[in-house]
Structure 1
Amino acid sequence: MERFGHKPYLNDCLKTLHLFFTQTREFAQMASVEDPASVAFHTQTKRLYHSFGDYDERLAGVPAVCLRVPTGGGKTALGARAIKTTADSFLATERPWVLWLVPSTTIRDQTLRQMRDRSSGLRQLLDEELGAVLPLDMRSALELSTSDANNHTIILVSTLATSRVEKTENRRFYRENGALMAHFEGLSSDLEARLELGADGKTPIPSLCNLIRLHRPIVIVDEAHNNKSSLGFETLGRVAPCAIIEFTATPDTKNAPANVLHYVMASQLKAAQMIKMPLLARQEADWKRCLAEAKAQREDLERVAAYEEAKTGEFLRPVALIGAEKKNERYTVDVVIEVFTQELLVPRDQIAIATGDKDEIGEQKVGTRESEIRYIVTVDKLREGWDCPPAYVLASVREMKSATAIEQLVGRILRMPNAQNKHHAELNKSYAFLRSSQTLDAIHMLKDALVNNGFSRPETDALVEQLALPVQWSNSPIPTNSLQGTLNFNATVRRAEDWRVPLLCLDFGGEMLPMEPEFFLPGHWDIRNHPAVLTNAEIGLSESGGFEFDVVNDRLGVRQSSFRVAQLDQQLKMLSPRDNWRSSTDMALWLDRTVPHRDISPTHMRVWLAKLCGDLESRVSLRELEVERMRARRAVMRKLNAIRLVEKQKTQLELFEVGRVDGWGDAILSDNIAWELPPYYAPPELYNGHYRYSKHAFDGIVGHMNGEEAQFAWQLDHDPKVKYWFRNVEKQPGAFWLPTMTDKFYPDFLALLESGHTAVIEYKGKDRISNDDSREK
């Protein structure tokens, strides 16, 4: 069973984040690099990086990136896992502090409840990733003990408004607090100088703000565009974050542009069974008919749900969300309820009002057997934080004048109950019935609402289908096709049909599996066949036996940024609690526990680590090794990856010479297992040049290309031997890839030739032809 928070697209997000922080550390070792985060971001994305130092100079150089995840994609679980990813790849402590910022007190309370509930998926994920965690609100943090601080990963959940500084003297966040004084005892003068000082200009203020600043928190920002203001950046500057990670469905692209490191697409959520898509929509000029069709659709779905329960045992009670007009307008909540009860004969106890003035939902778990609610009537939006995956149907009687009228309600009908597809196709879709007198306007606005929920514009063309005929309703058994009309699942016209490319497979005793990067690592390899030694260069030891510190980046004139990775490391190491290792065995046990090694025999790993740590102890004091444990851990992980690469190179040689992988099976090119041109195409970034390509596999849309790539595509477009070509976008659903020893290789282009052959093309500039990555490809 798939673990909570471990969907494939979330794993991809975290791999990208891990690479970004790893490269930021690597670039920080280079004296010529002024802003390591900027260079790391551009290396990965080929886009311009926007420094938060432009808004507050104290944030200059602080790594700040954004992960874009549409509504329903699991941003909270992703945020929880991002903590460990950041600590492992970037920080000098295994127990980081986290400042988790949310847009409202409602979301804050909901997030804290989930984090504190040991039976919740979120809390279990935090325990699995971080060990002992202590989620706190700001009020609880004002009484935090040193014991709790030393023995837990501290997660402070707050709204930005709690710590804004319009009136600093009135904020307990900044005020001197005697309960926190113990945290500031025994600090070095160097650490004290980095804090906000009291009236004497010498003594740090024992405030919660200073305590957070002392521990250099990872800042997690939920729906970041709500927190970007001058006061927001001022607050972030005062807490001195070590990194800022934004999670949002709709990144800011104007006021304070987000550094979007990774995009999650709707098709990935659909493939992961997270959302109900496609969204089938119909518009009606008659508001009563709009309500009647929504009722009929919901009742049809409830009959389908009964069949689903009989087959799987999963109970579902589909719910309809009804958007009424405001009090001073015509079709108000009361008018809508009257139509439902008097004309459509819906019992009143099946209807709940959810507006700012009245909440008839209360603590009911809507969609369960215990709740009779089948219809929820609201105006603009439901209360923040309220989640209802059983909501399948949206009906809005408001005249559709803008997407904002239904933006939030659309987001509420997309989540898939229990994040698992149903056996009956009707239960894998969502439905919208919209009042509009203008042909197509409502459908266009519905697509706009989806864009505002984080879906790309090309995807909305694929995922929203207008119903050509009205729903037929009756009390008869479940209809074979409750919605008439066909669904066109193409973002644009797909020119090339039946384009298939056979894939390289391994024969596992009759079972054919596509070749994956992990298959290059033989199942029988033995770590004991490799030297258990870290050289001085690999771990950063000087010739005299001490650790070399990255002081080059702190030289005057080398780095304009106020942010120093070396200074950050030093601060976190001084604050990290010690386990008081007594021998190299303690170090080996810690490494065995914290270094991932599922592909290595536990017994063999312990033997190898014991030798490695014994050798290190002969060269470095145990106290120094414990202080530098995170550096040692990263060095061991790099060593293991280098060893794995050696083993993979042996397998690759064997694969190409004898056509098999020892321990796995024979390599076969299979016609039965093949890449096929995806049914639709929605790249996160589009080619924005003036030339319109005539042979691209999808008419009217091409993924992003730089100047040289666009010129090469022009040559493909004019080559008489080429029938169609396809701009292959890295890591997107349906993209073509080949396995390499280190990762998946996504070539830039595929070309279907008139001969029937497929050309797989990687375009490389002259400056990159000779690098290791290019040679492997």
Structure 2
Amino acid sequence: MELKQYQQEVINDLSAFIDELEKTEQLNIAFSRFWESKGISLQTLDDNFLKPYDNAIKGVPRVTVKVPTAGGKTFIACNALKPIFESFPPDKPKVAVWFVPSDTILKQTYKNLNDPTHPYRQKIDSHFGSAVKVYDKESLLFGHGFNPVEVKEQLSILVLSVQSFAANNKDGRRVYRENENLTEFSKTYKFPDKMIEGADETALIQVLAQLNPVVIIDESHNFEADLRIDMLNSINPSFIFDLTATPRNKSNIISFVDAIRLKKNNMVKLPVIVYNHQDSNEVITSAIQLQKTLEDKAKTEEENGGKYIRPIVLFQAQPKTDNDNVTFEKIKEQLIEIGIPENQIKIKTAVKDEIKNEDLMSRDCEVRFIITVNALKEGWDCPFAYVLASLANKSSAVDVEQILGRVLRLPYVSKHKQELLNYSYVFTSSNNFLATLDKIVHALNKSGFSSKDYRVKETQIQVEQNKVEQGSFESMFSQSQQDTEENSETQPENQDPEIDVESLKQLETSEQSHEKLDEIIDLARNTNQEFEKKIEEIEKEDSLIPAELMDKVKTYPVKEVFKDEVKEVRLPAFFKKVNQNSFFETEGTYLPLSKNLLLDGFDLSKEDHNIDFTRTSSEMASIDLVEGRKDEYVPEYRKVTNEVKEAFVQYISSLSPEGKINQLAGRLAQQVKRNDEIPEPQIIQYIKNSIKDLNSEKIAEIAHDEYYFSTLIKSKINSLTDKYAEKQFVTLLDKGTVVCQDSFEFPQKISPKNTLQGITKNLYVEEGEMNDFERKVINEVANLDSVVFWHRNLERGKGFQLNGFINHYPDFIVKMKNGKIILIETKGDHLDNSDSLKKLRLGEKWASKAGDNYRYFMAFNNARLDGAKSVGELIEILKDMK
């Protein structure tokens, strides 16, 4: 099971934040710079959720990712463990406390993470060499496999609920009491200032605090009342990773996933089709008929090679009251009376659970209708649920908040050829439809969706609404307030909804009911067309800005005068042809070229391992300055680095020469291995070869400053892989295995962090900022008669990238009147270094393979590299391209 593209982008965002944190060692600065790299300034952004870093848990990185229901939050969390733990010192215990909001989800999460065959566990095992153990609260309290030796050698995942630590109940108090099963841990404590007052030194809560765990909070919006700041502080976390569909106001959000991305990746049944009927009889009739229609479509799907689907209707009844509103028992009786087999109907409530032992995904299961109130609100993720039919009385606003998310998951996470199987449906009969829609919108919001993700339809004649905001859900109504009031008169407000069996039988065969079903199907198809169009539009937007923030961030569109012309421009990029026996699908598949794809056959053990381990006094002073900085925004785990170093230096001093080499190589490799291009065993062996001839004093020095020396090693390895990748790149170009194909299209809008005006012929209303030399060059270029437009290319994944043995974002893209596209990289005369040489070689290769309509130039003011141009020479070349 691999990450979906949007899930990988979440992990990339997490890694990018961690990288900024390692550079700055300041939480607030790292958070600001992370968003600045996406063109967003937190100081000027007017958003309810995204604000400057909140340091409520002082010295502890705490970040949130916003992912809607059915977006795969648990799988994202499984993949997040790797970059988080890789950011810590090598000998920090790998302990993760995984908080879940309820016992139901706890059992489900523990079961999946503990199952070696489950994709969640398989992914974690692949990242941590299968040295993984999962614990629940009972196994922790009894010390089953939970001891200092085990913890040191593995990743330990502790699946717990917040209630486990509630001191106000008997079960919660157990974690604060003396525990002889955990006595061994008390001999290993390293954080005396983190001892919890009132808890025995052998208590489980004390052990957790001393292990300084990473904390994963699943569905963190459910913890506002229980998971207080003081409680989080008490377990002394080293990193907190929140996952939620609805972040709190003070959440430090680093990644947004919107509903459109889930739709595009076939995770959810969107749009949600909402249809308001005249009464409960119509609701039931439409639900039954739609279920039959969907099941017929599912059979056709399977006959044509699709997987088995059995669509299910969720009938949401009102709670039983003294007035005996429509209850689950009555609904079941009436469904049976109109001819639905009893084995197809089940009740699921807090007190009656008829699906407890049913495998709803099984072909042998007969269940097609489930009657519930709110018992399915969490921990129930059967993707066969398609229709939510509410049977509340007509005077009520339908309360669907808790279970709407149960019909959103798309079976098998794949788009179905029978298009009606790709949507979800909500049927109601409410006179107070405005309030009902408010509830539906709120339910979607709680699941991380919005009012853009559904369409509504009522049964009455459509009339115009006055003063209704275009695009809001009110503008989609097709029933007037007058109609609503008239219906209210025919059914008193306090009258309970009544299901009439005879009416149901008549409706089922009536022309009217079939017309309603056709109308629902047409609405679904038309709405999906709008969705597909919206997906296409979003793909052309600035990809680094989440859709949720688009209207909050200042963006700059293409100038009207260039809109038609820029649509025709496609910039080629490099692609590699994939072999049939590779991980990928079929022979002939072309993948965007990356450095990883150029390292086939690279063997680090055969490369030069001579590294200069000498250091200057200025380098040492620089390191000491960084490590000595103290601030509440400095992560706590950075502050204890010196203690960890001293302990390790003392430890390896007692080892044999070979033992010293082995231990040090292993630790340095953990710092270097974040380069996923090379297997860790190769890195370890390479480091051993590099340090095996060093004397004891140098070994001790390296052990004391692992970060600095691992950086030297990583730099050396990178230079070796760069050299190999470039050689492979040239060879594969000659063979035709690497080709240049049209790829990049200009986005409709851009959002640079800072902008510049005053230069003519700019493609966008405003262009990104530039230094004085860059401005001088493009100003001269723009004033040539031969130039149509120019654009300041954006970096960090937002602009056009020359992807080869290195990734290179040229400074400017220029369209000429003779049709040629020019890439220009500007260099101050002091920048004629090896990096410039690599860019120049790559640019020239790109121009030679892209075709006659493309050129690449590197421009210096005066001094230049072979093949580069002076500004004067560049202008002479471009001025005649008319």
- Equivalent of 2:289 in 296, 319, 334: 296
- Equivalent of 2:111 in 113, 126, 130: 113
**Equivalent residue letter for 2:105:** I
Do the aligned residues in 1 keep the contact of 2:596 with 2:677 (CA within 8 Å)? no
- Equivalent of 1:10 in 7, 11, 15: 7
Closer, same or farther: CA 728–272 of 1 in aligned 2, 3 Å: farther
User: In the alignment, is residue 582 of structure 1 matched against residue 659 of structure 2?
Assistant: yes
Q: Name the CA distance, whole Å, in 2 between partners of 1:676 and 1:395.
A: 45
Give secondary structure in 2 for the equivalent of 1:210. helix
Residue in 1 aligned with 2:863? Answer: none
- Equivalent of 1:250 in 246, 249, 269: 246
Q: Name the CA distance, whole Å, in 1 between partners of 2:682 and 2:131.
A: 28
Q: Name the CA distance, whole Å, in 1 between partners of 2:805 and 2:395.
A: 51
- Equivalent of 1:75 in 69, 73, 76: 73
Q: Name the CA distance, whole Å, in 1 between partners of 2:392 and 2:808.
A: 49
Deviation at 1:395, TM superposition (A): 1.6
Deviation at 1:278, TM superposition (A): 3.3
**Equivalent residue letter for 1:104:** S
Deviation at 1:507, TM superposition (A): 7.3
- Using structure 1 for the length normalisation, give the TM-score: 0.74
Give secondary structure in 2 for the equivalent of 1:353. strand
Q: Name the CA distance, whole Å, in 1 between partners of 2:818 and 2:379.
A: 53
Closer, same or farther: CA 342–117 of 1 in aligned 2, 3 Å: same
Deviation at 1:123, TM superposition (A): 2.2
Q: Name the CA distance, whole Å, in 2 between partners of 1:456 and 1:738.
A: 34
**Equivalent residue letter for 1:143:** F
Deviation at 1:718, TM superposition (A): 10
Residue in 2 aligned with 1:232? Answer: 228
Give secondary structure in 2 for the equivalent of 1:317. coil
Residue in 2 aligned with 1:692? Answer: none
Give secondary structure in 1 for the equivalent of 2:82. helix
User: In the alignment, is residue 513 of structure 1 matched against residue 590 of structure 2?
Assistant: yes
- Equivalent of 2:24 in 27, 34, 40: 27
Post-superposition CA distance 1:70-96 (Å, at most 9, x none): 111111111122112201134433751
**Equivalent residue letter for 1:334:** E
Structure 1 unaligned residues grouped into runs of 5+: 678-696
Q: Name the CA distance, whole Å, in 2 between partners of 1:265 and 1:549.
A: 43
Closer, same or farther: CA 429–12 of 1 in aligned 2, 3 Å: same
Q: Name the CA distance, whole Å, in 2 between partners of 1:514 and 1:352.
A: 49
Give secondary structure in 2 for the equivalent of 1:270. helix
Residue in 2 aligned with 1:207? Answer: 203
Q: Name the CA distance, whole Å, in 2 between partners of 1:759 and 1:421.
A: 38
Q: Name the CA distance, whole Å, in 2 between partners of 1:114 and 1:412.
A: 19
User: In the alignment, is residue 450 of structure 1 matched against residue 450 of structure 2?
Assistant: no
Q: Name the CA distance, whole Å, in 2 between partners of 1:17 and 1:265.
A: 17
**Equivalent residue letter for 1:321:** L
**Equivalent residue letter for 1:234:** D
| Percent of aligned pairs with the same amino acid | 23
Do the aligned residues in 2 keep the contact of 1:738 with 1:745 (CA within 8 Å)? yes
Closer, same or farther: CA 549–148 of 1 in aligned 2, 3 Å: farther
Residue in 1 aligned with 2:219? Answer: 223
Post-superposition CA distance 1:692-751 (Å, at most 9, x none): xxxxx6xxxx786767489999994599x999999999999xx87545459988999999
Give secondary structure in 2 for the equivalent of 1:369. coil
Q: Name the CA distance, whole Å, in 1 between partners of 2:472 and 2:70.
A: 15
Q: Name the CA distance, whole Å, in 2 between partners of 1:749 and 1:410.
A: 49
Deviation at 1:515, TM superposition (A): 4.0
Closer, same or farther: CA 493–318 of 1 in aligned 2, 3 Å: closer
Q: Name the CA distance, whole Å, in 2 between partners of 1:412 and 1:529.
A: 55
Q: Name the CA distance, whole Å, in 2 between partners of 1:70 and 1:711.
A: 43
Post-superposition CA distance 1:1-57 (Å, at most 9, x none): xxx2522222221122122112212212xxxx5856545545555436655544xxx
Closer, same or farther: CA 142–525 of 1 in aligned 2, 3 Å: closer
Residue in 2 aligned with 1:184? Answer: 186
Post-superposition CA distance 1:90-146 (Å, at most 9, x none): 443375111111111221122111122222222222222222222222332123333
User: In the alignment, is residue 396 of structure 1 matched against residue 395 of structure 2?
Assistant: no
- Equivalent of 2:636 in 558, 564, 581: 564
Residue in 2 aligned with 1:332? Answer: 327
Do the aligned residues in 1 keep the contact of 2:390 with 2:429 (CA within 8 Å)? yes
**Equivalent residue letter for 2:58:** A
Describe how 1:187-586 pairs up with structure 2 within 5 A.
187=189, 191-196=191-196, 205-229=201-225, 232-253=228-249, 257-312=250-305, 314-328=307-321, 330-343=325-338, 345-382=339-376, 384-398=378-392, 405-437=399-431, 446-456=440-450, 458=452, 483-485=521-523, 486-487=526-527, 488-489=530-531, 490-491=533-534, 499=567, 501-502=569-570, 503-506=572-575, 508=577, 511=588, 513=590, 515-518=592-595, 521=598, 523=600, 527=604, 531-536=608-613, 552=625, 555=628, 558-561=630-633, 563-569=635-641, 582=659, 584=661
Post-superposition CA distance 1:296-323 (Å, at most 9, x none): 1111121222223333363221111122
Closer, same or farther: CA 708–62 of 1 in aligned 2, 3 Å: same
Describe how 1:140-179 pairs up with structure 2 within 5 A.
140-144=139-143, 145-165=147-167, 171-179=173-181
Q: Name the CA distance, whole Å, in 1 between partners of 2:106 and 2:298.
A: 34
Post-superposition CA distance 1:357-399 (Å, at most 9, x none): 2211112111312322111111235153122111122222336
Residue in 2 aligned with 1:688? Answer: none
- What do you get for the CA RMSD once the two structures are aligned? 5.5
Do the aligned residues in 2 keep the contact of 1:549 with 1:566 (CA within 8 Å)? no
Decide which structure has the larger Cα Rg and report it.
2
Which one has a larger percent helix, Structure 1 or Structure 2?
2
User: In the alignment, is residue 614 of structure 1 matched against residue 701 of structure 2?
Assistant: no
Closer, same or farther: CA 447–196 of 1 in aligned 2, 3 Å: closer
Closer, same or farther: CA 435–554 of 1 in aligned 2, 3 Å: same
Q: Name the CA distance, whole Å, in 2 between partners of 1:115 and 1:750.
A: 49
Do the aligned residues in 2 keep the contact of 1:517 with 1:740 (CA within 8 Å)? yes
Q: Name the CA distance, whole Å, in 2 between partners of 1:668 and 1:506.
A: 6
Give secondary structure in 2 for the equivalent of 1:247. strand
Give secondary structure in 1 for the equivalent of 2:292. helix
Residue in 2 aligned with 1:133? Answer: 132
Q: Name the CA distance, whole Å, in 1 between partners of 2:820 and 2:326.
A: 59
**Equivalent residue letter for 1:142:** L
Structure 2 unaligned residues grouped into runs of 5+: 44-50, 456-470, 480-506, 538-559, 579-586, 768-784, 844-882
Larger displacement relative to structure 2 (323-332 or 561-570): 561-570
- Using structure 2 for the length normalisation, give the TM-score: 0.67
Post-superposition CA distance 1:577-599 (Å, at most 9, x none): 99977364676688889937775
Q: Name the CA distance, whole Å, in 1 between partners of 2:104 and 2:6.
A: 28
Do the aligned residues in 1 keep the contact of 2:294 with 2:420 (CA within 8 Å)? yes
Q: Name the CA distance, whole Å, in 2 between partners of 1:196 and 1:293.
A: 59
Q: Name the CA distance, whole Å, in 1 between partners of 2:725 and 2:667.
A: 27
Q: Name the CA distance, whole Å, in 2 between partners of 1:725 and 1:480.
A: 52
Give secondary structure in 2 for the equivalent of 1:387. coil
Closer, same or farther: CA 123–513 of 1 in aligned 2, 3 Å: closer
Q: Name the CA distance, whole Å, in 2 between partners of 1:103 and 1:770.
A: 57
Q: Name the CA distance, whole Å, in 2 between partners of 1:403 and 1:638.
A: 63
Do the aligned residues in 2 keep the contact of 1:300 with 1:482 (CA within 8 Å)? no
Do the aligned residues in 2 keep the contact of 1:471 with 1:484 (CA within 8 Å)? no
Give secondary structure in 1 for the equivalent of 2:403. helix
Larger displacement relative to structure 2 (742-751 or 590-599): 742-751
Q: Name the CA distance, whole Å, in 1 between partners of 2:197 and 2:148.
A: 21
**Equivalent residue letter for 2:160:** S
Residue in 1 aligned with 2:483? Answer: none
